[in-house]
Chains A and B, each alone.
Chain A
């Protein structure tokens, strides 16, 4: 983005009633064009918000962070440059670069890094943030030739690396990737010495734009896609299983098919991070089963569910996989080596991202893996990520053994040996609860989504509570699957948000949630901030059981209404409420 384009973009009139997105840009230099570009890139990414980017005092990065009050901004963007760690590492001061002074510079940088870490740890408990470590080169101040990294230079880099490592442990902070920025902005073209010396703004205009774009993308924290459907022949492995046989397919360096091994390794990594991986292949199921018995395959059959292996159209396979996963096409990527198959699936599911596998194209595979990491990457993994595939597989078993096929519902549920654990101990540190509230559609009280700052602000109220429910039964664990948030007040409880994962349907968990609310909070009535949405049919149906007909906005349930119609519950329940 050019500077004139950024200025024109932020100069365009917006909707004055739109909710504001307030960013505090903490840096030690004059923010100048970085501030402009950040506002512009955020405007592009959040067209429905009013963007404001404020900045602090010149030359006082640590103080700017320490003085920040958490409830005044939605996000903190911190840009550290070498001169923030010690002014002698910049060009605007003349503190001396004699060799005996360099050890003191390192020590001073260590002290500042420790102060920064303390300040960020404290501030990030109130406001989420992004930290970008020095993007500019160190000045030519060392006794070694520029081609040689000397001890002092390495120690300075170590100070920064250690600071980054410590900050990356903070769940509310995201660290900007130096490698990513290197690709977007050439390190040699970043520093504008004249601008730094004259105006205190050290960046070239293109670098300011690239850095602002990176910060904006981390602030946006786009939702990750959920699933990947892959073909097998000439995609997951090299060769045609039906023609080459189980031993004829390959993914190895000596067979010049190593790219397929890398792809397998990558898919296994995605599966381990909670991404759903399914197979859609025109193949003989028995042969596929044999192929997955090969112990040198890097993707285990345990990483994949479901397998759609038959001779029908790929779009039919994709349809069934989407149904099994219960996810929408726009949350899934389909990969196949055949452009024709890709086109057929794309025609059936225009929202699905469909990619032709770059067979024998090394550069293409590198780009593909980077792209997939971009669309599936998450800021933080939760324990539920590792449970997702297992619980979907278990749900499939659940459906297969469901009462319509076997015993009565009550007998089946009783025999499931279900256990529900309610927890209200975590508030704004519960990333899984925040994630569930923001991605669940079907069993969702009102469809309301929360930004990170709105989430934090909600729980500042001392009457606010957050209740989560985790579920397991003899078929496996579903992890944390329900979230309820609301406010207490006398004999009445107000529920402002309630979501439950669709994986947890048909287990009467929602009934147990209501029972638990009445009992744990000791209230006689619960009012719900209910709104009909185009997709919350399952929740509407649940309320209809108690209010005789479709619920109205703001529906209220009394303890008597609930007791009169609640179905038999067989869960073993444990939990405490801390409000």
Chain B
């Protein structure tokens, strides 16, 4: 597991405290009943603070799974290869 993934799991666990690491990795808006707009805003704020990034509100609705956040953060860390903002 990469360091980024570990940190992201901690962020998810703080917002969804009932989920195990495995459940977090597999989580998505569809699979997690408690994933709502409020938890998504909170999750984004936690991730912004923890990773020192600024998440574009326009893309927030698309960040609907753990995997989507992983991909988005990877792009932010490699701005030349992706479309994110640093």
Contact = CB atoms under 8 A, between A and B. Distances in A.
A205 B41 contact: no
Contacts of A194: 57
Contacts of A205: 45, 49
Contact of A32 (B14, B15, B42): B42
A7 B41 contact: no
A4 B42 contact: no
Interface residues of A, number: 14
B31 to A, nearest CB: 20
A199 interface: yes
Output the residue of B13, B14, B17 with the most chain A CB within 10 A: B14
A378 interface: no
B41 A4 contact: no
B76 interface: no
B10 A4 contact: yes
B57 A7 contact: no
Given A11-B14, A11-B17, A3 B45 contact: yes
B57 A3 contact: no
A36 interface: yes
B11 to A, nearest CB: 6
Output the residue of B11, B17, B45, B49 with the most chain A CB within 10 A: B45
A342 B26 CA distance: 59
A2 B49 contact: yes
B69 to A, nearest CB: 14
Contacts of B50: 2, 4
Interface string B2-34: 000000001101110100000000000000000
Nearest to B48: A205
A190 interface: no
Interface residues of B, number: 14
Contact of B46 (A7, A198, A201): A7
Interface in A184-204: 194, 198-199, 201
Contacts of A198: 57
Contacts of A36: 42
A32 B41 contact: yes
Given A3-B49, A4-B50, A198-B57, A33 B42 contact: yes
Contacts of A2: 49-50
Given A32-B41, A33-B45, A36-B42, A4 B11 contact: yes
Contacts of A20: none
Contacts of A3: 14, 42, 45-46, 49
Contact of A199 (B13, B14, B41): B41
A294 B36 CA distance: 72
A360 interface: no
Interface of A: 2-4, 7-8, 11, 32-33, 36, 194, 198-199, 201, 205
A77 to B, nearest CB: 20
Given A7-B17, A33-B42, 5 more contacts: A3-B42, A4-B10, A7-B15, A8-B14, A32-B42
Output the residue of B38, B42, B46, B57 with the most chain A CB within 10 A: B46
Interface of B: 10-11, 13-15, 17, 38, 41-42, 45-46, 49-50, 57
17 contacts: A2-B49, A3-B14, A3-B45, A3-B46, A4-B10, A4-B49, A7-B15, A7-B17, A7-B42, A7-B46, A8-B14, A32-B41, A33-B42, A36-B42, A201-B41, A205-B45, A205-B49
A4 B48 CA distance: 11
Majority secondary structure, A binding face: helix
A205 B46 CA distance: 9
B32 to A, nearest CB: 15
Nearest to B7: A4
A199 B37 CA distance: 10
A194 B44 CA distance: 13
B49 A7 contact: no
A7 B42 CA distance: 10
A157 B75 CA distance: 46
Nearest to B57: A198
A139 to B, nearest CB: 21
A54 to B, nearest CB: 15
A194 B10 CA distance: 25
B17 A4 contact: no
A33 to B, nearest CB: 6
A328 B83 CA distance: 64
A51 to B, nearest CB: 15
Contacts of A33: 42, 45
Contacts of B49: 2-4, 205
A193 B52 CA distance: 18
Nearest to B17: A11
A36 B14 CA distance: 11
A33 B15 CA distance: 12
Contacts of B13: 8
A194 B42 CA distance: 15
Contacts of B41: 32, 199, 201
A520 to B, nearest CB: 56
A366 B50 CA distance: 35
A424 to B, nearest CB: 49
Contacts of B10: 4
Nearest to B14: A7
Which 8 pairs, one residue from A and one from B, show the smallest C-beta to C-beta distance?
Answer: A11-B17, A7-B14, A4-B14, A4-B46, A8-B14, A198-B57, A3-B46, A3-B49
Contacts of A201: 41
A212 to B, nearest CB: 14
Contacts of B42: 3, 7, 32-33, 36
B71 to A, nearest CB: 21
A259 B38 CA distance: 53
